[in-house]
Amino acid sequence: MKPFKLLQLQYQGFLETDFLWFSNDIQQIQQFNFKQITTSVFTGDSTPKLRLGKLVERFVSHQLQENTTIDILIENIQVQNHKITIGELDCILLQDKKPIHLEIIYKFYLYDKTVGNTEIEHWIGPNRKDSFNQKLDKLTNKQLPLLYNDKTKPILDHLNLSVDEIEQQVYFKGQLFVPYQEFGNYFDEINNKCIEGFYINSKELLLFKDAKFYIPTKRNWLVKPHSNIDWLSFKQFSIEISEYINEKNAPLCWLKKTNGELIKLFVVWW
């Protein structure tokens, strides 16, 4: 597939991802509120080596620029103390002339009841190295408070802004995956439209021995499954997936059922 076409599929998948919650329903952290554009062409720059997080930031920037009520003042500005970076402000913008400090996050979380004691604490990263709760703590205790750091004041002064007039919000999107046996269940605290699929371990793969598979690159985790790819047979997929499992790496995969249904899933090592 041509790079431009693939980039558009990545952008479209990003646009169609929902916010993990609305308003300030989770820990009083205010989710960004604006009219989303669901069909658009990404005209910004992107290199194949750009990691997923940075690609998402460019997608968000492009999306915001297409909204006539928004004026971006700064993006990705490092805050330094004697040439040592103490943090970064993702974005400060004006929405209807109101200044907003916006932090941008796009995550993939899996639901595991064995972790933590609450629904929020049960959402963890595919390789168990991070979690939704940890990210919320980082936002609350590090990323959002950076606006009030003394070393941030010169940046705000340059923009002719007072810290007291700036509202803090997050642009927090995500794809969620649940155990195969719980696929279809409803969750109380998150936006259930973010549930993209399920996850299984390698032993459960036999449930889909008649299906076909695909392992997209990390950047293509954004893409909605489609048929215009070279599918792997169950045997081929089992060989390739074993390499990931041996390295304790849980990849996102596409599954094509015998009835033609396409779905995303993670195959986990744990």
Tell me, what amino acid is at 30? Q
pLDDT along the chain (270 residues), means of 10: 88 96 95 80 82 95 94 97 95 97 98 97 98 98 98 97 98 98 95 98 95 97 96 98 97 97 98
Phi, then psi, of 28 in degrees rounded to 5: 60, 20
Tell me, what amino acid is at 157? D
Tell me the pairing of strands 252-256 and 195-201.
unpaired
CB-neighbour burial class of residue 32 (10 A; exposed 0-12, middle 13-18, buried 19+): buried
Tell me the pairing of strands 123-124 and 167-179.
unpaired
d(CA 92, CA 205) in angstroms, rounded, equals: 46
- Eight-state DSSP code of residue 252: E
